[in-house]
Each structure stands twice: as structure tokens, then as C-alpha cells.
């Protein structure tokens, strides 16, 4: 796609909602699981707190959405939390937010896809035990779709996202209707006893009980991940960009909170029992079963029970008389969890591009691909997500402990920056109406700061030793890596500043050296090209590896009357590279202001395996000569027959080369 078609890729609200909000919407598929699972470690009595935890998470969600609506109006350029923190708090806080967001985007893909793999295994039992392979394949497919471009992927993902919303809200409406008329059955796990872990035998009491409830709350706050993606993606919206982004945020918050609270309420009503360790915690008439896999247990009487995710259990209970609809709910839930990672595939590359533009990441991340998507960022995100899925075997319960920390670091820092932003503007604003609007926005952001800061403290306390330290360590490493990249680019820029006296002075003389191994067409082309350059001095150089061959070369050179002197360099150890390097350096030592040009004849081949048979000495020489100051290396190509037609076949790659532009690595 041509660059002037970028406007065509901008998204209306109906497409932007599934593109940027699918992560936060889909988190209701695993956030309730984590709440029930965490509370379940204290036994059935702890489930009485599930609805309170759900309400607390919902309130935090609404506060964060209200806060970010101020962000998108104040900073519509797409920098999101990174821009807010950098402008108002400085580079270090901005870089802290950036590192947190980058890590969290990777975790978003890993958690969402792993959860989708679990839903797939609960629907198709033959897939159990292969969740990691399924998740990795899904990441690769998702990466391929996103490489096609934002609009194409958004249109593709819109239908499943809306299908998920309709399915979950429809299930909730049907469930509450059956509850109202007294026909809502219990979930499949309801008849089982749920044993508490040893340190919770007395239920949710004392300090340990309070800590457990805080853990459940922090796990449930996974529902907030993805909210920040809209503030990072404002440039992708159609005009008016800020207004459309704020409206999408409001829709996201309303729908997510409604779905989350509906699932938690119905889960409590249908007596869902959700255990982290199925074999040890679930009992059937007092009998403890034997684990067949992490989610399946067999009891002594032969009964086998497979623990489905919360939405899966709810769907089977609510649609007990319509099993096809239960399958539809679990299917679209698994699908939306795959597509939810698309939020990260849109957020990570955009943020990476902004950081690359600020010279904190490699410049290649600022380059758009042929389909106007940030291809390099998409590929890097997919690669790191695959590594995480493989390392944690696609187990959501393990991955979720790394999650959330990064997003609440960015939430808290961003809201701090927004409070300072409004305070700064209020110092100079005199219009009473505008001041009232700014003061209202500052109050909203201040409330957001208080809430997200409190949640961040809770998350750090409850999840640090459970795995959050890994995410924090990754953020620290990424922070210092980006600092190092910035220092490198600044150092290179300073080093390349033109010196009016030194860099505009012509060299005293130019010496051209043509490297010769034998007399053939590539050698003669290099010699003729060197003569056409009209250097101050010109000579051909060969290395004496075999005396007979060298003597034959000299004789042939003289017989043909080539008007360029041939110099022979001795090599007692039959090594080609070192004698040439030493000779070139000797020329430089004799006249430091002179310029030496080394011309190397090379074959141009058409097949990958031919590269293994040719040009190895030339590659080694070029690699060494490039580090020698004052030396120019010129490749003189000779196209072999196998390369004929390659140029035509590679015409499709020309836009990619043009896209990078001159001088851009």
C-alpha cells in the first residue's frame, strides 16, 4: 500500500472497539477464574467474598476509564502513557512507563492465547495436554494476520468480538431470567466438596484471610489490562480522533464491567467450585481422586470430572436445555481470547515506533511495512510471546502472576503526569469555563491516581514472590537497554557531526588497489573500472599462496599487456586476508591524509547454495577492511548466468527498499 493511502486505514468506532478493546473485553473470560481460584484456596466459605471483590474490580475499571478519557483528549498523538509521563514528569518516568507497557503487551499475548488454548482443550478433549503447541500456532496465525495491515485485521476481528459480547451478555440475560423463574440449575462442579489449603483450614480469618482477599482482588484486576491501548492508538481512529477514542473507552468500560459482574454473580448463584489443584482440593462424597492431567481427576468410584473454565461451566449450566448454545459460548470465548491479543499487536508496534523515533529502540521499529503496519514490531512481539508460552507451558495461572504489574505501573505514572498537566495549565488559564473543565479533569485524574496507586501497592505485595518479580526484572533490564540504545544513537550523532575544516578537505592523493586471484572477466571489469576512476596511483595486488600459480599469473599478466602494475604479496602461512590488510595499512601509515580504495571482484549468484561456494575470501576481507580508517571498499560485481532474472523476481521488494530511505539502516 502506498503511503498516501494511510488515511484509508483509519478506523471508525465500530471497528476500533474490537481492535483496541478486545483485550479488556476478553479479560472477563479469565479474570473471574482467577478470583474464584484464589478464593477457593480457603474453601467454600471464601466464595462469599467473590461478589465484593468483583464490585471492587468494577469500580476500579470505571475510575480508570474515566481517567483515560481525559488522557485521550489531552494527548491525542498516540504516545499514551509514555508521552504523558515524559512530557510532565521527565524522561526517566516516561521510560519506566514504556518498559512496563512493552513487557505487559508481551504478557497480554501470552496470557490471552494460553487462556484460549485452555478453552479449546475444554471444548475438544483430544487437545488436552497440547495447549502450548496450540497457543504457539495461534500466535503465528495472529502475527500473519496483523502483517496484512491494521484495517484488514480490524475488520477480520470485528465479527468474533461482537459475537463474544452478544454471547456472554445473552448468556447472562438468560441466566438471570432462569434464576428469576426458579429454573437455573447448579454448575457441574457444585456437588463437589472444596477443601481449603492447610493454612486456610479456619477459613478467611485474620491476616492470612485478608491477604487472600487482596490476592483475589489483584488477580481480578487483570480485567483492566488493555484499557491503556486506546490512548496509545488514538492516531488510528477516524476524525474527530479524540472524541471517537473517548467514546470507545466509555463503551469498553460499560460492557466489561457488566459482563464481569454478571459472570461472578451467576458463578456464585450456580455454586461453581473452582480449584487450583483439582486432585487435592475437590472431593466426591469425601473421596479424594487421582489427577489425570492438571484439570481432570478420577475418583475411586470411577467417576471422572474435568474442570472447565468458569464461563464454560456457566454456559453448560445456564443452557442445560440448549447444549448447542453452550458450545457456541465456549467457542466464541476461546476465539475472542485469541483475538484479544490483537490489542497488543496494535499497541506494541505503535509504542515501539514512537520509542524508536525517540531513539530508545532500534530505528527499524519506526518503519512501516508494505501494508502500512509496523511489521518489525509485530514480529518481535510474537517472538517474545512464543518464548513465554513455551517457558510457562501455556498455564494461565502461572503467567497471570507476572501480569498486571506493568499495566498498573503505567496507570499510576500516567495519572500522576495528568494531574501535573492540568495543574500546569491552570496556572495560565483565565477563562472561567475552561478552568472549571480543567479542574474537573484534574479531580478525575487525581482519583484515578489514588485508586491505581493503591492497586499497584496491593499487586506488588500479593504477587511479588509468586512471579511478579520476573516481570519487574524484565522491566528493569528493558529500561537500561533502552537507555543504552539512546546513548549509542546520541554518541553516533555527535561523532558524525560535520567538521567544516576537516570533513570538507579533499584527500591529498587516492590510491586504488585491485585484488586479483586470477585473470578472468570479473578481474578485468574491476581493473577497467579502477582505471576509469583516474586515481593518483593504481596497482593490482595478488597474494602468493602457491608459487607456481603466482608465477603463471604474472606471466599471463605480462603477456596480455595489462597497463596496471601487478604487485605480489608474500604469505608464508598461505593466508590471504592478513597480507592484504597489512599492505593497505602500510600505505595509510606512510601518508595518513591519503585515501585508499580497495576494489574486490565478486560473483553475483542466483541460488543460496552458491553463496557457500563463492566470495568467502571477499567477505572476510571486506569485514576486516571496513574497520580500517581511510580505506574505501568497493565491490565490483559480475553476474553469473544463475542470477539472470533475479532482478525481475525481486521487483516486488523494491517498495520495501524505498520505504527505508537513504542512509537508514
pLDDT of residue 246: 87
pLDDT in tens, 29-75: 878 888 888 888 777 767 788 888 899 989 988 888 888 888 888 88
Choose one of 391, 407, 423: the last residue of a domain.
407
SS3 of the chain: helix, strand, coil, percent, to 5: 70, 10, 25
The whole-angstrom separation of Cα 590 and Cα 40 is 81
**Cis status, amide bond into 240, omega within 30 of 0:** yes
Cβ–Cβ < 8 Å for 58, 228? no
Angle made by CA atoms 607, 611, 615, in degrees to the nearest 5: 140
Cβ–Cβ < 8 Å for 271, 318? no
Say yes or no: 526 and 394 in one domain: no
The whole-angstrom separation of Cα 278 and Cα 518 is 75
Cβ–Cβ < 8 Å for 344, 26? no
In which order are the strands placed within the sheet that holds 282-284? 193-194, 282-284, 287-288
Phi-psi region of 353 (alpha: psi -120 to 50; beta: other; left: phi over 0): alpha
Choose one of 359, 383, 407: the last residue of a domain.
407
Q: Which are the contacts of 547, defined by CB distance < 8 A and separation ≥ 6?
A: none
Average pLDDT on 7-12 reads 60
* 421 within a domain of the structure (yes/no): no
Beta bridge partners of 542: 568
Say yes or no: 540 and 398 in one domain: no
Say yes or no: 389 and 531 in one domain: no
Nearest-CA neighbor of 111 among 395, 350, 424? 395
Residue 600: φ, ψ to 5°:
-120, 115
pLDDT of residue 207: 72
Q: What is the percent of the chain where pLDDT is above 90?
A: 21
Residue 76: φ, ψ to 5°:
-85, 5
The confidence band for 462, taking pLDDT boundaries of 50, 70 and 90, is: confident
Q: Cell 586470477 maps to which residue?
A: 518
The whole-angstrom separation of Cα 295 and Cα 310 is 13
* 530 within a domain of the structure (yes/no): yes
Helix or strand run (H / E) with residue 637: strand 631-639
CA atoms within 13 A on the CB side of 575: 10
Say yes or no: 251 and 117 in one domain: yes
Q: Is 569 exposed, middle or buried (0-12, 13-18, 19+ CB in 10 A)?
A: middle
Nearest-CA neighbor of 416 among 363, 459, 453? 453
- Dump strand ranges (E) for 529-630: 537-544, 566-570, 595-604
HEC string of 234-247 equals: HHHECCCHHHHHHH
pLDDT in tens, 253-286: 899 999 999 999 999 899 888 887 787 778 887 7
The whole-angstrom separation of Cα 24 and Cα 229 is 9
Domain of 188, CATH number, reads 1.20.1740
Cβ–Cβ < 8 Å for 25, 255? yes
* 578 within a domain of the structure (yes/no): yes
Q: Is 131 exposed, middle or buried (0-12, 13-18, 19+ CB in 10 A)?
A: buried
* 451 within a domain of the structure (yes/no): no
Size of the chain, expressed as the number of residues it contains: 665
Secondary structure (3-state) at 368: coil
* 430 within a domain of the structure (yes/no): no
The whole-angstrom separation of Cα 22 and Cα 16 is 9
Q: Mark out the alpha helices in 392-502 (DSSP H runs).
A: 396-399, 405-426, 432-463, 469-495
Domain of 566, CATH number, reads 3.40.50.620
The whole-angstrom separation of Cα 325 and Cα 327 is 5
Say yes or no: 401 and 517 in one domain: no
* 609 within a domain of the structure (yes/no): yes
Dihedral (Cα; 73, 75, 81, 84), 10-degree rounding: -120
Cβ–Cβ < 8 Å for 282, 275? yes
* 184 within a domain of the structure (yes/no): yes
Q: Which are the contacts of 346, defined by CB distance < 8 A and separation ≥ 6?
A: 19, 20, 146, 150, 153, 229, 233, 236
Choose one of 357, 375, 407: the last residue of a domain.
407
Nearest-CA neighbor of 159 among 335, 391, 11? 335
Q: Which are the contacts of 177, defined by CB distance < 8 A and separation ≥ 6?
A: none
pLDDT of residue 166: 92
Q: Which domain holds residue 615?
A: 510-660
Q: Which are the contacts of 212, defined by CB distance < 8 A and separation ≥ 6?
A: 38, 39, 41, 42, 46, 200, 204
Cβ–Cβ < 8 Å for 270, 299? no
The whole-angstrom separation of Cα 376 and Cα 362 is 10
pLDDT in tens, 177-225: 999 998 899 998 888 888 777 666 666 666 777 778 888 888 888 778 7
pLDDT of residue 659: 41
DSSP 222: G
pLDDT at 228 over 70: yes
The whole-angstrom separation of Cα 260 and Cα 252 is 12
Residue 598: φ, ψ to 5°:
-105, 120
Domains: count for the chain: 2
Say yes or no: 12 and 144 in one domain: yes
Cβ neighbours of 441 (radius 10 Å): 22
pLDDT at 650 over 90: no
Say whether pTM exceeds 0.85.
Answer: no
pLDDT in tens, 619-640: 888 888 888 888 999 999 888 8
pLDDT at 606 over 80: no
Q: In the chain, how many H helices and how many E strands?
A: 25, 11
* 391 within a domain of the structure (yes/no): yes
pLDDT in tens, 487-542: 988 888 887 787 766 666 777 788 999 999 889 999 999 999 999 999 999 999 99
pLDDT of residue 479: 94
Average pLDDT on 116-127 reads 75
The whole-angstrom separation of Cα 167 and Cα 326 is 9
Average pLDDT, the chain: 82
Amino acid at each position: 500500500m502506498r503511503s498516501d493511502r494511510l488515511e484509508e486505514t483509519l478506523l471508525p468506532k465500530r471497528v476500533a472497539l474490537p481492535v483496541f478493546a478486545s483485550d479488556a473485553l476478553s479479560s472477563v473470560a479469565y479474570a473471574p477464574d482467577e478470583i474464584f481460584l484464589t478464593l477457593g484456596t480457603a474453601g467454600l466459605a471464601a466464595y462469599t467474598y467473590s461478589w465484593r471483590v468483583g464490585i471492587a474490580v468494577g469500580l476500579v475499571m470505571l475510575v480508570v476509564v474515566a481517567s483515560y478519557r481525559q488522557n485521550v483528549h489531552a494527548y491525542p498523538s498516540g504516545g499514551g502513557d509514555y508521552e504523558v509521563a515524559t512530557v510532565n514528569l521527565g524522561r526517566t518516568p516516561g521510560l519506566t512507563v514504556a518498559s512496563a507497557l512493552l513487557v505487559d503487551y508481551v504478557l497480554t499475548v501470552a496470557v490471552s492465547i494460553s487462556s484460549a488454548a485452555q478453552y479449546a482443550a475444554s471444548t475438544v478433549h483430544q487437545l488436552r495436554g497440547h495447549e502450548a503447541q496450540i497457543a504457539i500456532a495461534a500466535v503465528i496465525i495472529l502475527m500473519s494476520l496483523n502483517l496484512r495491515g491494521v484495517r484488514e485485521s480490524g475488520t477480520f476481528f470485528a465479527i468474533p468480538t461482537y459475537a463474544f459480547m452478544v454471547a456472554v451478555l445473552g448468556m447472562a440475560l438468560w441466566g438471570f431470567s432462569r434464576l428469576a423463574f426458579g429454573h437455573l440449575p447448579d454448575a457441574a462442579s457444585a456437588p463437589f466438596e472444596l477443601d481449603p489449603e492447610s493454612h486456610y483450614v479456619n477459613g478467611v480469618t485474620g491476616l492470612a484471610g485478608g491477604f487472600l482477599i487482596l490476592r483475589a482482588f489483584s488477580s481480578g484486576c487483570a480485567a483492566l489490562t488493555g484499557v491503556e491501548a486506546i490512548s496509545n492508538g488514538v492516531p488510528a481512529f477516524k476524525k474527530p480522533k479524540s472524541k471517537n477514542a473517548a467514546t470507545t473507552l466509555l463503551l469498553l468500560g460499560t460492557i466489561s464491567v457488566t459482563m464481569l459482574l454478571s459472570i461472578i454473580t451467576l458463578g456464585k448463584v450456580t455454586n461453581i467450585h473452582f480449584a487450583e489443584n483439582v486432585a487435592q482440593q475437590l472431593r466426591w462424597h469425601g473421596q479424594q481422586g487421582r489427577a489425570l492431567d492438571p484439570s481432570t481427576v478420577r475418583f475411586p468410584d470411577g467417576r471422572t470430572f474435568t474442570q472447565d473454565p468458569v464461563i464454560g461451566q456457566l454456559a453448560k449450566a445456564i443452557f442445560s436445555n440448549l447444549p448447542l448454545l453452550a458450545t457456541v459460548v465456549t467457542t466464541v470465548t476461546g476465539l475472542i481470547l485469541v483475538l484479544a491479543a490483537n490489542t497488543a499487536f496494535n499497541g506494541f508496534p505503535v509504542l515501539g515506533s514512537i520509542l524508536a523515533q525517540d531513539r530508545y529502540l532500534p530505528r527499524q521499529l519506526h518503519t512501516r511495512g508494505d501494508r502500512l503496519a509496523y511489521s518489525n514490531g509485530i514480529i518481535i512481539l510474537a517472538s517474545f510471546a512464543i518464548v513465554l508460552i513455551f517457558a510457562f507451558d501455556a498455564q494461565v495461572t502461572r503467567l497471570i502472576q507476572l501480569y498486571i504489574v506493568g499495566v498498573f505501573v503505567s496507570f499510576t505514572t500516567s495519572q500522576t503526569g495528568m494531574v501535573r498537566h492540568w495543574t500546569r495549565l491552570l496556572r495560565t488559564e483565565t477563562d472561567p469555563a475552561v478552568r472549571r473543565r480543567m479542574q474537573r479533569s484534574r479531580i478525575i485524574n487525581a482519583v484515578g491516581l489514588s485508586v491505581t496507586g493503591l492497586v499497584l501497592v496491593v499487586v506488588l505485595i500479593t504477587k511479588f514472590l509468586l512471579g511478579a518479580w520476573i516481570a519487574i526484572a524484565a522491566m528493569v533490564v528493558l529500561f537500561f537497554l533502552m537507555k543504552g540504545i539512546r546513548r549509542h544513537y546520541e554518541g553516533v550523532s555527535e561523532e558524525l557531526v560535520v567538521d567544516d575544516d576537516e570533513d570538507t578537505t579533499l584527500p591529498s592523493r587516492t590510491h586504488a588497489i585491485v585484488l586479483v586471484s586470477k585473470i578472468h572477466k570479473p578481474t578485468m571489469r574491476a581493473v577497467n573500472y579502477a582505471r576509469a576512476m583516474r586515481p593518483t596511483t593504481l596497482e593490482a595486488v595478488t597474494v602468493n599462496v602457491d608459487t607456481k600459480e603466482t608465477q603463471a599469473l604474472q606471466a599471463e599478466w605480462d603477456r596480455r599487456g595489462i597497463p596496471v602494475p601487478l604487485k605480489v604479496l608474500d604469505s608464508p602461512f598461505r593466508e590471504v586476508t592478513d597480507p592484504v590488510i597489512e599492505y593497505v595499512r602500510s600505505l595509510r601509515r606512510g601518508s595518513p591524509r591519503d585515501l585508499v580504495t580497495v576494489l574486490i571482484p565478486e560473483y553475483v549468484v542466483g541460488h543460496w547454495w552458491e553463496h557457500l561456494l563463492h566470495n568467502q575470501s571477499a567477505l572476510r576481507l571486506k569485514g576486516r577492511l571496513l574497520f580500517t580508517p581511510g580505506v574505501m571498499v568497493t565491490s565490483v560485481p559480475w553476474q553469473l548466468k544463475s542470477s539472470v532474472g533475479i532482478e525481475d523476481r525481486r521487483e516486488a521488494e523494491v517498495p520495501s527498499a524505498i520505504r527505508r530511505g537513504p542512509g537508514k539502516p
